[in-house]
Structure 1
Amino acid sequence: MGDKQRDLKPVRAAVVSKASASSDIADFVKQVGALARPSAGQQARILFALDATMSRQPTWDLACKLQGEMFEAIPNNNALAIQLQYFRGFGECRASKWVVNAQTLARLMCSIDCRGGETQIGKVFAHARSEHAKQRIQAMIFVGDALEENVDRLAEKAGQLGLLGLPLFIFQEGHDTRVEAAFREFARLTKGAYARFDASAPQELAQLLKAVAAFASGGRDLLKLQKSASAHALLEQLR
């Protein structure tokens, strides 16, 4: 990518059309079906990474409320472990322990406030590679709205994750086209998927999080067990 894409500024959330959002979600669900999945009874692992810089506070609060959706998508005979990773402030990038229930993850998230700072997506990718080397991660989720790093270097790191079989499912808040181009490239390089969501419509993000968790653990059959109208709509888009 050219130099013009290397210095991308933060953007605020923008309301997108319902048709555009639905198209992105449909494309996402079609691609997420290719996830490498553990056998029944085995533990699926998801790295849940979020931008926690100042512009992200509303969506951080939203994610705190919705994170339990991922655990609800998993039946009792399967297990789901999630690790929370975030960056904020002046060079702060941290990861939690792996947790296996929504209450623990919610407590971790609620103890964190957003702070001003630049993006640190490169550190997120490096950490994902390190954790994946220790034990396979079925999927990595990243939620963000900006990119202020060298795009070419990030693309190289994303490509390395792709070679290791770690798909990135990246959700963009807002409508910055330069950020979108970079995020889509990272998803492509990891054989993952990209989707945009509107923070004013929280169920869109909830659907996406549940879709990743369901497919990471059990694929289409597990998604069929979801009883919400939204889950059935996603299932229809898989056919």
Structure 2
Amino acid sequence: MTTVWGRALHAELVKVVTLPAMRWSAAVACGAAVATMMSVLRDAVDGRGLGFEEVAPVWALAVQIGFVAAGVASAGAEHSTAQGMTSLLVTPARGRLAAARLMVLAGTGLVVASALVGASLAACPAMSTAALWASGRTAVWLTAVLLLSDGLGAALRSVIGASTAAVVLVILAPQLAVFLGDTARWLPGQAAQIWLAADASRAEVTSAGLIILAWTTAAQIAGIVRLVRADG
């Protein structure tokens, strides 16, 4: 059993790290992180101590684009290339395949997100407990973006459809708040702004976190069901 799971996890990890689109997406996220931090630090007033908790909402708006692209690309490679058939040859049991994909994506996403957040946290002049909490929440959000986008891609089996849905739900949601008002907080992208806000109350942060969790879970379940029931 250990060998079967080990083979499945290894195969999924190899696919993730060798897929060109994933490397490009990581480069986009890294570039966005660097550019955002350079801009924020340059515009800091009178050189005052700037903590990551103040930067996190704006920083995440830019960096999450790379994670959206990575999630859609990961799912798209499964149904639009030969990778899907290769996956089933290595792991014929679709349920095990889905679980292995989820674990590898979540682990890889969290590692990359933590590295980007950690570097940006270190670049901020001020360090505090609030900054550390904000960095943790930011890493969790970016991982959720990856899983949400992947779930949408697996469920819709359309790169264009998944990209459009992910862009609306994640990237455009804060802008839609102008038209939707309080209703927009039920969208994951707007919930993330509350989740990352330095001045949000504990109740608001908890509520936003649950909304993000619900969207991510629903997308992943839809994608897994589509995979398990697919004919090929």
Is the pair's TM-score, using the shorter chain for normalization, greater than 0.5? no
**Structure 1 length as normaliser, TM-score?**
0.29
More strand by percentage: 1
More helix by percentage: 2
> Which structure is richer in relative contact order (CA contacts within 8 A, separation 6 or more)?
1
